[in-house]
Chain A
Amino acid sequence: MSKNNGEYLIIRNDNKYEVIIGLEVHAQVLSESKLFSTSSTKFGSEPNTQVSLVDAAFPGMLPVINEHCIKQAVKTGIGLKAKINKRSIFDRKNYFYADLPQGYQISQYKNPIVGEGSVTLDMPNGEKNIGIERLHLEQDAGKSIHDIDPQSTLVDLNRSGVALMEIVSKPDLRSLDEVNAYIKKLRSIMRYLGTCDGNMQEGSLRADVNVSVRKKGDKKLGTRCEIKNVNSIKFMQMAIDFEANRQVDVIEEGGSIDQETRLFDTKKNETRSMRSKEDAHDYRYFPDPDLLPLELNDNYIDQIKKDIPELPDEKKKRFIEKFKLSPYEANILVSDIEISKYFEEVSKNSDVKLATNWITGELFALLNEKNIEITESPISSKNLSKLINLIKDGTISGKIAKSVFEIMRDGDKDPITIVEEKGLKQQSDPKELENLIDKVITENPKNVEAYKSGKDKLFGFFVGQVMKNSNGKANPKLVNEILKKKFK
C-alpha cells in the first residue's frame, strides 16, 4: 500500500482501490468583529464574554454585515485564482443545536461570493492543480463543552457569529501527502493575504473531509462520506486512512456505502456514523430575509486586486530567477509568509546562498528545537545577516560562525561584538599563517614524506593541525592555498 507520490491505493484480494478526497476547509476570517455583529473575535477569552444580543439570537435582533469580512473573502478568492461573483446571497441553513443560538446558520448556498478557482501543489513528482469549487462566507457556531459537567453540556457562545470562509475543493486530492500539501498551501496563501491566521490549535482552520473509494480504472466516483470538523492535518490523514479502508472493507464484503456524515474519534482513531443527527438532516436552506443580496462592482474588485501582495507561487518564481535558488529551496522559503519575509530581510544585505543555507539549516533547527515560529526567533534577521557578512568577508570561518550563532541564540547579541569580545577574528595574515604551517611541517616530518610519496589524503591532516593550533581561527581558504604552494 502506497499513500504517497500521487497514488494512494488500497489493495484487497487483488482489487486495487483508488481513494478520492475532497476538503471543505473552514478558515476563520481575520477580523476584529464578527460577521454580523460588533462583538470581538479575540481567541481565548472568558466564556460568553464576547457575545452580543445578536450572537445569542435574542428576539428582534438582526444581522448587519461586516464589510471587512467581505473584503477578506474577495481577497482570498483572488488568491485562489477564482471567479468573484458580483452578486451573492446569504441563506439560512436551518438545524437545531445547543451552540447554534438562532436555530440556523447564516451561510451562502446557491450563490456564494467566490466561484471556481485552483491551488497549485508542489509534489515530489511535479506540480498538481487542485480545483476549488467555491468559497462562501458563513457564521461559526458556539462551543458545546461536554467534559466539565458530567450531567450537562455547557454552552459558550464566544465563537458564535465569527466569520468563516468555507473553501470547498473539487474531489481532486488523491493521497495523504496531497492533503497535507493542500492544507499547507491554502494556509500559506491566506497568511500571505492576511485573511486567516491559519492557527490550527486555535481552530482557525478546520476541515470537513469527503472520502470515497473506487476501483482503479473506474470513471464514476463512489459514494462519499463526510467526516466532520477535523482540526489537524494529522487527524485528517488518520481519518481518511481509516475511512478509506472501512469503505473498501464494506465493498469487499459485498456491501455498499451509505452517504452519511461521520465523526472522527481521535482517541479510538476511527470514524463513526452520526446517525443521531442524520434523522433530521434537511437544512431547508432559503435566502435570509433579514439581509439583501450582496452586490459588488468591478471597481471594488479591481481595487482589491491592486492591493494583493505577491503570493507564494509568484514569490517562488522570483526567488528562483533572481536568487538562483533551487525549486526545493525556494519552496521552503516561500512556504510561509513570515519565513519569506525573514529571508528577504537577511538576503537584502548579505549573500543569498549563505542566507538560504543558514536559515534552512541552523535557524530552522533552532526553531524546531525550541518549537517556536520564525516570528519568535531569538535571532533577528539583522544580526543573522551580519553574521553571514562576517563569514563572507573572511572575518570568521563557517565553523567559528557556528559558535558565534550559539552565543547569539541566547539574547540576539550583535555577532560583530561577539567576535570582537571573544577574539574570534579569523587569522588571515599570510605571514602568521606561514609560521603556523611551517611549525606543523617541521613537527611532522614522517607525514610530510608520506604525503610527498603520494598519500594525498594527508593534506587534510595538515590543514587540521594548522586549524587546531590556531584555535580554529586560521582562515582555512588561505591555509589551503599556502600549504599547496609549500608542497609544490
Chain B
Amino acid sequence: MTIDLKTVKHISKLSRISIDDNKAKKLGKDLNSIFSFIEKLNELDTKNTEPLTSIAETTLKLRKDEIKSENIREDILKNSPDKNKDFFVVPKVVE
C-alpha cells in the first residue's frame, strides 16, 4: 500500500501539526518506506493470538479516595506561556 499526499495531510491534521506541501511530500516518502518495512507483519497469521496490551506483570493497583494534593495553582501556571493570575489563556475558541 502507499500513503498518498491527501492521507499525509489528513494525518497531519489529526496530529495538529501543520506541514507545507514540500514537507508533506518528503514525509510521504519516509512513511512509505517505513510502512513497506512494517508490512512484513502480514506474513504472520495472528488469527488466534490475543493482543498483548501490557507487559507489566502485575494487576492494576488501586488508590484510596483521599485528597492529598494541595492548592498548587502557582506551580501549575508557572510554566505556561500565557496565563493570568487565575487561568491559562489560549486564543479565542470559536465553536
Asked whether B87 is an interface residue with its Cβ less than 8 Å from the other chain, the reply is yes
Check A289–B53 contact: CB distance below 8 A.
Answer: yes
Asked whether B56 is an interface residue with its Cβ less than 8 Å from the other chain, the reply is yes
Of the candidates B53, B65, B90, the one whose C-beta lies within 8 Å of that of A32 is: B65
A32 to B66, CA, bound (A): 6
Asked whether A50 is an interface residue with its Cβ less than 8 Å from the other chain, the reply is yes
| Majority-rule SS of B interface residues | loop
Q: A51-B73, A153-B92, A279-B13 are in contact. Are A293 and B60 (CB under 8 A)?
A: yes
Q: Mark A268-300, 1 if CB is under 8 A from B, else 0.
A: 000000101001101010010101111100000
Residue of B with least CB distance to A31:
B65
Q: Mark B82-95, 1 if CB is under 8 A from A, else 0.
A: 10101111111111
Check B62–A48 contact: CB distance below 8 A.
Answer: no
A293 to B59, CA, bound (A): 7
A137 to B2, CA, bound (A): 38
Q: A154-B87, A263-B95 are in contact. Are A50 and B60 (CB under 8 A)?
A: no
Check B69–A155 contact: CB distance below 8 A.
Answer: no
> What distance in Å separates the Cβ of A66 from its nearest Cβ neighbour in chain B?
5
Check A65–B63 contact: CB distance below 8 A.
Answer: yes
Q: A38-B68, A48-B77, A144-B93 are in contact. Are A292 and B60 (CB under 8 A)?
A: yes
Q: Mark A17-44, 1 if CB is under 8 A from B, else 0.
A: 0000000000000011100011110000
Q: A39-B69, A282-B14 are in contact. Are A153 and B91 (CB under 8 A)?
A: yes
Asked whether A98 is an interface residue with its Cβ less than 8 Å from the other chain, the reply is yes
Q: A33-B68, A48-B73 are in contact. Are A155 and B90 (CB under 8 A)?
A: yes
A89 to B93, CA, bound (A): 33
Residue of B with least CB distance to A265:
B95
Using Cβ atoms and an 8 Å threshold, which residues of chain B touch A287?
53-54
Q: A38-B67, A65-B63, A282-B14 are in contact. Are A292 and B89 (CB under 8 A)?
A: no
Asked whether A421 is an interface residue with its Cβ less than 8 Å from the other chain, the reply is no
Check A68–B65 contact: CB distance below 8 A.
Answer: yes
Q: How many residues of B contact A (CB 8 A)?
A: 36
Asked whether B76 is an interface residue with its Cβ less than 8 Å from the other chain, the reply is yes
Check B53–A293 contact: CB distance below 8 A.
Answer: yes
A:395-420 near B, CB below 8 Å: none
Check A294–B60 contact: CB distance below 8 A.
Answer: yes
Using Cβ atoms and an 8 Å threshold, which residues of chain B touch A292?
54, 56, 58-60
Query: Total contacts A to B, CB within 8 angstroms?
Result: 124
Using Cβ atoms and an 8 Å threshold, which residues of chain B touch A282?
14
A276 to B16, CA, bound (A): 14
| Interface range on chain A (Cβ under 8 Å from partner) | 35 or more
Check A280–B93 contact: CB distance below 8 A.
Answer: no
Check B67–A39 contact: CB distance below 8 A.
Answer: yes
Check A67–B88 contact: CB distance below 8 A.
Answer: no
> What distance in Å separates the Cβ of A165 from its nearest Cβ neighbour in chain B?
15
A32 to B69, CA, bound (A): 12
A40 to B64, CA, bound (A): 13
A98 to B91, CA, bound (A): 9
A50 to B67, CA, bound (A): 10
Check A67–B66 contact: CB distance below 8 A.
Answer: no
A295 to B86, CA, bound (A): 40
> What distance in Å separates the Cβ of B62 from its nearest Cβ neighbour in chain A?
4
A279 to B10, CA, bound (A): 9
Residue of A with least CB distance to B59:
A295
Check A67–B63 contact: CB distance below 8 A.
Answer: yes
Q: A70-B62, A280-B13, A292-B58 are in contact. Are A152 and B91 (CB under 8 A)?
A: yes
Residue of A with least CB distance to B54:
A292
Check B63–A47 contact: CB distance below 8 A.
Answer: no
Asked whether A443 is an interface residue with its Cβ less than 8 Å from the other chain, the reply is no
A64 to B63, CA, bound (A): 7
Check B54–A154 contact: CB distance below 8 A.
Answer: no
Check B66–A37 contact: CB distance below 8 A.
Answer: no
A66 to B64, CA, bound (A): 6
Check A98–B62 contact: CB distance below 8 A.
Answer: no
Residue of A with least CB distance to B57:
A292
Using Cβ atoms and an 8 Å threshold, which residues of chain A touch B89?
149, 152-155
Q: A51-B76, A67-B63, A293-B53 are in contact. Are A153 and B93 (CB under 8 A)?
A: yes
Using Cβ atoms and an 8 Å threshold, which residues of chain A touch B86?
46-48, 154, 156
**Nearest 4 A/B pairs, CB to CB:** A68-B65, A67-B62, A38-B68, A52-B69
Pull 25 A–B residue pairs with CB atoms less than 8 Å apart, ordered by A. A38-B63, A48-B77, A53-B72, A53-B76, A64-B63, A66-B65, A67-B62, A69-B65, A89-B53, A96-B16, A144-B90, A152-B82, A152-B92, A154-B84, A154-B86, A154-B89, A155-B87, A156-B86, A280-B13, A280-B14, A287-B54, A289-B53, A291-B60, A293-B53, A293-B54
Can you name 6 extra interface pairs (CB under 8 A) apart from A40-B67, A66-B64?
A53-B76, A66-B65, A68-B64, A151-B92, A282-B14, A292-B56
